[in-house]
Chains A and B, each alone.
Chain A
Amino acid sequence: MSDWWGHLTGAIIVVMMVTFICIWAWAWSGRHRRTFSRMAELPMDDMAAPTVSTKIATRKSGA
């Protein structure tokens, strides 16, 4: 393995690790908390008519 190749792969690994940590930091940052908790509920907006029985629909969040 030539020197420059070793340096290059090393640098790429560092860049990838830093990127990964940045993604965690981005996802966990308090700035997004409100948006994310609303997004986590988004699929339930569609549940006017669940598949089991119409009674369960009372929990539906109006959208």
Chain B
Amino acid sequence: MQVIEYYDDKVVRLFLLAAAVWGIVGMSVGVYAAAELMWPALNFDIPWLTFSRIRPDHTFGVIFAFGGSALMGTCYYVVQRTGHTRLALPRLAELTFWGWQLVCVLAMTTMPLGITQSKEYAEPEWFVDILIAVVWVSFGAVFFGTLARRRIRHIYVANWYYGAFIIAVGLLHIVNNIALPVSLTKSYPVYSGVVDAMVEWWYGHNAVAFFLTAGFLGMMYYFVPRQAQQPLWSYRFSIVNFWALISVYMWAGSHHLMYTALPDWVQSVGMAFSLVLLMPSWGSAANGLFTFNGSWARLKNDAAAKFMVMSLVFYAAATFEGSMMAIKTVNSLSHYTDWTIAHVHSGSIGWVAMITIGSLYAMAPRALGQPAMYSQKAMEVHFWLHIMGLLMYVGSMWTAGVTEGVMWRATNADGSLTYSFLDSLIAIRPMYLIRWMGGVLVVSGMVVMAWNLWHTAADARARIIKPIPVPIPEPDPDQIPSPIPAVS
């Protein structure tokens, strides 16, 4: 019996569009925040334009709006392809798209008005939080529903990462945001004092772990072999890395609270787990990079592959740096300085943004019914703009961070501080200028990508692309891996 089924790519296209738009919005806000640090008068004394109000808009915009849209879109794409089945619950899937966009718009408009829980990366107030929880559970239902109707018995490793991302982020979000609303726009968390701090950084750190790492590793494990046109270097190694990564990450959150009121032993546990974490992190980075073995020549004229390779290099670099920063003595220098900001952005503009851009370039033509992106040259231009901007950003913030760290701890013979805080600010001003310029380059690259996607999407806009049929194999008793009978 032959069934004809088509991949459901409409919702994938919607998320693709959203990722391109939110990327520009979120990073432009970052550029504006960077400009305010350089030229403070740019806030014009308007409350909603002040640094404190737009900074969370930047972080929410890039992590949840840009990253989230890209993750959900690629997740829907990958889970269908790796299971040889179409999406379960397609209407709910489309609802997750509109729901998520509503979440992003609500969060990004309320935070500058001062409506905030003041918990980093969890700023939106309770009514947005509830909406996030609803959308997230629906996202999970679509994902696991699709897995349940797969036609390949073994679940491809990318889905393990996506699945961990969905379950963990749901858990983190709900536990961290338990609060008592006192009005529509104000709520108080049920936690207080050091418990609040620990819950917040258990959440914050695992947002890095499961949102900015596990989710994007899902993307990596699918799109890297696909783009390299090589099988994954070691499939079994990817499984060991998966379990190691998710079991170690959960315990490392206290490295954000070194030398605070948190009990000393909890800080040490965080430090120890952070050091162990380097192994599964480099395991995945190596697996991705070695997958390119034998197809390095591709890099010459394939900008998507370039983005992927550099993202893996930055993933390895940022995780190495993170493990070092988790050592208490190093942290005593780096904490509160721009070194943290350098680490964050080598992880986010380096790893997160580049794996996303590479994967979007790989996925977009297929999802938009084209043989290739509209302009290869524009992809190349984007790559160089991005890498230049990234190096300027990270290089300047490392320099600024170490400068601050060293100046703040310098003392005179009588024990008084050698430098005032103002001295350190003046010393790093040139670095703030370079960071801002780097940001402008990165955003320009994002605009180039949006332009390129717009042209690639010409047929999709005209609604003349054909859906892609699901390959449904003839029943074959010896098939590897063993098939599961289709449900319909």
Contact = CB atoms under 8 A, between A and B. Distances in A.
Interface of A: 16, 20, 23-24, 26-28, 32, 34-54, 56, 59, 63
A51 B480 contact: no
A23 B283 CA distance: 15
Nearest to B80: A46
Contacts, number: 97
Given A27-B239, A32-B236, A59-B229, A39 B157 contact: yes
A39 B244 contact: no
Nearest to B242: A23
Chain B: number of interface residues, binned into ranges: 35 or more
Given A39-B157, A43-B223, A63-B84, 6 more contacts: A20-B243, A23-B239, A36-B236, A40-B235, A41-B225, A47-B229
Given A20-B244, A35-B481, A44 B225 contact: yes
A24 B244 CA distance: 10
Contact of A56 (B158, B229, B471): B229
A58 B379 CA distance: 23
B475 interface: no
Contact of B373 (A38, A41, A51): A51
Contacts of A26: 239
Nearest to A24: B240
A63 to B, nearest CB: 4
Secondary structure call for the B interface: helix
Contacts of B243: 20, 23
Nearest to A63: B471
Contacts of A43: 81-82, 156, 158, 222-226, 232
B235 A36 contact: yes
Contacts of B158: 43
A20 to B, nearest CB: 7
Interface in B233-269: 234-237, 239-240, 243-244, 247
A44 B240 contact: no
A42 B82 contact: yes
B231 A41 contact: yes
Nearest to A29: B236
B362 interface: yes
A12 to B, nearest CB: 12
5 contacts: A35-B482, A39-B235, A40-B234, A43-B82, A43-B222
B236 to A, nearest CB: 4
Contacts of B377: none
Main secondary structure of the interface of A (DSSP, over half): helix
A16 to B, nearest CB: 8
Closest CB pairs A-B (n = 10): A40-B231, A43-B226, A27-B236, A40-B232, A36-B235, A35-B481, A43-B225, A40-B235, A63-B471, A41-B231
A39 B156 contact: yes
Contacts of B237: 27
B154 interface: yes
Nearest to A32: B236
A50 B237 CA distance: 27
Contacts of B298: 52
Contacts of A37: 231, 235
B246 to A, nearest CB: 12
Given A52-B302, A54-B371, A63-B471, A38 B239 contact: no
Contacts of A50: 227, 229, 372
Contact of B81 (A27, A38, A46, A49): A46
Contacts of A59: 229
B101 interface: no
Nearest to B364: A51
A44 B226 contact: yes
A44 B229 CA distance: 6
Contacts of B157: 39
A51 B227 contact: yes
Contacts of B395: none
A49 B372 contact: yes
